[in-house]
Structure 1
Amino acid sequence: MDDDQRPRVLIVDDETFYIDVLVGALNERYNISVAKNGVQALQRVASGKVPDLILLDILMPEISGLEVCRKLKENPSTADIPVIFLTIKSEVDDEVRGFELGAVDYITKPISPPIVRSRVKNHIALAQSKCVLSDQNRVLEERVMRRTDEILKTQDVAIVCLASLAETRDNETGNHIKRTQHYVKLLAEHLKDHPDYCDYLTDETINRLYRSAPLHDIGKVGIPDHILLKPGKLDADEWDEMKRHTTHGYEALVRAEQDIGTTTFLYIAKEITLTHHERWDGSGYPEGLKGKAIPISGRLMALADVYDALINKRVYKDAFSHEIAAEMILRERGAHFDPLVVDAFAALQSEFDEIATRFAD
């Protein structure tokens, strides 16, 4: 084996006799470097090639072997170097302390060359195996991350396609799905530290809310054109049919869940689709849920959806200004909307207006 390819062993001992014994035992198979005290050992490690293993005497002047080991293990760049302590049989307490500091083994003095060779060989092989395994794990993690990212992007494409399909049935909504998903995320980020919301609004849940929000109106694909696009007020029967878009969307997601299995994402998407027209006072639809019986996802989506409907033109109404829409939202605190969600909106009005402008039709 080429000298540069041989494993590197650093011998640290203040006694020349033991250094000579160790060098003689290991020189044929390893690249050997020597330090005669702890300070010199740390300098060798810091300035040269990092050794593959260190043979470290415990009792040395200036800095003990235990202190050298502690410093090595505290440094991320040297923490994984196997350290074998050199000790005499009476140093039992030092052995225990050394293992606590991260040493992998002990060799007792007087030194037996065959034992030294065997221990060094085994621990270098073990360290190399750990390194290979670590590299493999890192490669696998990177592959999993790339694959997960691909799956999420594919899922997002499917979501946008479904939501866009619903938009084609109601061509005045434009960027409605983009705006509302940003409103929902904005509200969720603001509320995530509130005691009533912090258990639910984790970073992972907020991401799922953001990604599933575009699906809230997919049930509109099941509403007839003469109702969905009617320029005037709906009669009672037409309004009953329009309200069914919540259950149409929910049932479509339930069927998907039955085919592919349940996921947290689908669970949140079902909640949003079904409950975004529920009202805090219980007068909403389709189930007339009241107060905290309404899922948080539905409460957030309710305000986002109404605000966007107010500030944009529809076949049945002109657009309101942000100021008028905000005033209307604030008046519905505790009636249409969760009071805490309205408070969040009040604190975020300028951000809502900015999102509306950024994604204007």
Structure 2
Amino acid sequence: MNRIAIVDDSDINLTLLKHLVNKLGGCEPLLFSDALKGLQWCLDNEPDLVIVDYMMPDLDGIGFIERFRAAPGRSEIPVLMITANDDKEIRYEALQRGATDFLTKPVDTVEFRARASIMLTLRANQKRMVDRNRELAEEVRKATAEIRSREQELLFRMSRAAEFRDPETGAHIQRMAHYSALVARQMGMSEAEQELLLQAAPMHDVGKIGIPDYILLKPGKLTHEEFEVMKNHAKLGHELLHGSGSAVLQAGAVIALSHHEKYDGSGYPVGLRGDAIPLLGRIVAVADVFDALTSERPYKKAWDLDKAVAFLREGSGAHFDPACVEAFLAAWSDVLSVRERFADEEVPQL
């Protein structure tokens, strides 16, 4: 049912126009002899066609159209203006203000039917287009969500590929990623930034794919030469991930390269200091070290939580960004929840 608002200060004209609208079929005429009340209804509701007289007290037809068009969502609704004046200047101004078409009094029945029908068809096509755009937007949203889901699965599997060659666990990358997101939240980062970090953090050690097994899997302490080779995993991870069009991979590249930098400049691979270290890398450094300390491995026992927290506090300002450490500790109850949720099922064996 098309809703047609008719605004005219003459009761006779309203009765005539109502009769003409009813003859169109499938239409509901809504009559307003007060222009301001008619305008308010048109702003509170969504008519399919507005028929408005030019000469009215308080608010003439041109003023009505101008206010109507200024309202959100009212720029495309057809407006038919009726006037007894043939002055072209009035018509030109009305067109500039947003009138769609005109009828001249006395209203010709045939002409009214033709013009009103054309505008209702126009409106119907507009609504179909809006509905189709919504359908397309929803299809795009679903397709994008599916692509992102597949991308995330691929990224997780890439991260796991590195972990399979290292005595770490899949739970480790889950925990450190969620710890990182908690820090981001505490530091006031947006939800989108928190989600980006959650997705990108698991790739922090993806460069270990390129480290020889005799170094990566060595149970004892690495020699100086072996450690120098091990440090290359930061650059290897960056080389693997950078240059992608994916925001997640771009963030992963930054994290891979910077999460072993230290706040005092003594880290690797570049030796960046303080805020020169990307924030994502500073956050992941805290999350990764804490989980590594508190996780049991074939070659070491897990530290107790108090000892690990003390290590973070002692390293604040040297190894770690103090703001990141404080943010991590401020989310302590959530940190414990993450530890419980992603607990290691068993200690991996070499």
User: What TM-score does the superposition give when structure 2 sets the normalisation length?
Assistant: 0.80
Work out whether residues 173 and 314 of structure 1, in 8 Å CA contact, stay in contact via their aligned partners in 2.
Answer: no
Within 5 Å, give how 1:181-260 maps onto structure 2: 181-192=177-188, 201-254=189-242, 257=243
Residues 212-246 of structure 1 show CA distances to partners (whole Å, capped at 9, x for unaligned) of 11111112222233322322222212212221221
Query: How far did 1:25 drift?
Result: 5.0
How far apart, in 1, do the equivalents of 2:30 and 2:235 lie?
Answer: 77
How far apart, in 1, do the equivalents of 2:219 and 2:168 lie?
Answer: 11
Secondary structure at the aligned position of 2:174 is classed as helix
Q: Does 1:323 align with 2:298?
A: no
- Over 3 Å counting, the alpha-carbon distance change for 1:58 and 1:219 in structure 2 is same
Q: Does 1:156 align with 2:139?
A: no
Aligned counterpart for 2:125 among listed residues 124, 129, 150: 129
Aligned counterpart for 1:15 among listed residues 5, 10, 31: 10
When structure 1 is superposed on structure 2, of 236-245 and 293-302 the one drifting more is 236-245
Query: How far did 1:252 drift?
Result: 2.2
Q: Which amino acid aligns with 1:29?
A: L
Q: Structure 2 regions of 5+ residues with no counterpart?
A: 345-350
Secondary structure at the aligned position of 1:323 is classed as helix
How far apart, in 2, do the equivalents of 1:214 and 1:121 lie?
Answer: 61
Secondary structure at the aligned position of 2:179 is classed as helix
Work out whether residues 69 and 83 of structure 1, in 8 Å CA contact, stay in contact via their aligned partners in 2.
Answer: no
Work out whether residues 218 and 245 of structure 1, in 8 Å CA contact, stay in contact via their aligned partners in 2.
Answer: yes
Q: Which residue pairs with 1:284 in the alignment?
A: 267
Q: Which amino acid aligns with 1:178?
A: Q
Query: How far did 1:149 drift?
Result: 0.5
Q: Which residue pairs with 1:197 in the alignment?
A: none
How far apart, in 2, do the equivalents of 1:283 and 1:96 lie?
Answer: 72
Q: Does 1:309 align with 2:304?
A: no
Query: How far did 1:247 drift?
Result: 2.1
User: What TM-score does the superposition give when structure 1 sets the normalisation length?
Assistant: 0.78
How far apart, in 2, do the equivalents of 1:320 and 1:99 lie?
Answer: 75
Residues 286-333 of structure 1 show CA distances to partners (whole Å, capped at 9, x for unaligned) of 111112221111111111111111111234432112221111101111
How far apart, in 1, do the equivalents of 2:272 and 2:333 lie?
Answer: 30
When structure 1 is superposed on structure 2, of 59-68 and 113-122 the one drifting more is 59-68
Q: Which residue pairs with 2:332 in the alignment?
A: 349
When structure 1 is superposed on structure 2, of 315-324 and 27-36 the one drifting more is 27-36
Residues 91-142 of structure 1 show CA distances to partners (whole Å, capped at 9, x for unaligned) of x99x979986x76555454434455334323321221121111111111101
How far apart, in 2, do the equivalents of 1:295 and 1:336 lie?
Answer: 14
How far apart, in 2, do the equivalents of 1:183 and 1:323 lie?
Answer: 17
Query: How far did 1:169 drift?
Result: 1.6
Aligned counterpart for 2:51 among listed residues 47, 52, 55: 55
Aligned counterpart for 1:272 among listed residues 255, 276, 292: 255
Would you say how many aligned residue pairs link Structure 1 and Structure 2? 338
Residues 171-218 of structure 1 show CA distances to partners (whole Å, capped at 9, x for unaligned) of 3434110001111111112213xxxxxxxx444333222111111111
CA RMSD of aligned residues (A): 3.8
Q: Which residue pairs with 1:358 in the alignment?
A: 341
When structure 1 is superposed on structure 2, of 63-72 and 170-179 the one drifting more is 63-72
Q: Does 1:170 align with 2:166?
A: yes
Q: Which amino acid aligns with 1:234?
A: L
How far apart, in 1, do the equivalents of 2:59 and 2:131 lie?
Answer: 34
Q: Which amino acid aligns with 1:149?
A: A
- Over 3 Å counting, the alpha-carbon distance change for 1:262 and 1:81 in structure 2 is closer
Query: How far did 1:67 drift?
Result: 7.8
Work out whether residues 167 and 297 of structure 2, in 8 Å CA contact, stay in contact via their aligned partners in 1.
Answer: no
Work out whether residues 233 and 316 of structure 1, in 8 Å CA contact, stay in contact via their aligned partners in 2.
Answer: no
Work out whether residues 55 and 86 of structure 1, in 8 Å CA contact, stay in contact via their aligned partners in 2.
Answer: yes
Q: Structure 1 regions of 5+ residues with no counterpart?
A: 193-200
- Over 3 Å counting, the alpha-carbon distance change for 1:87 and 1:165 in structure 2 is same
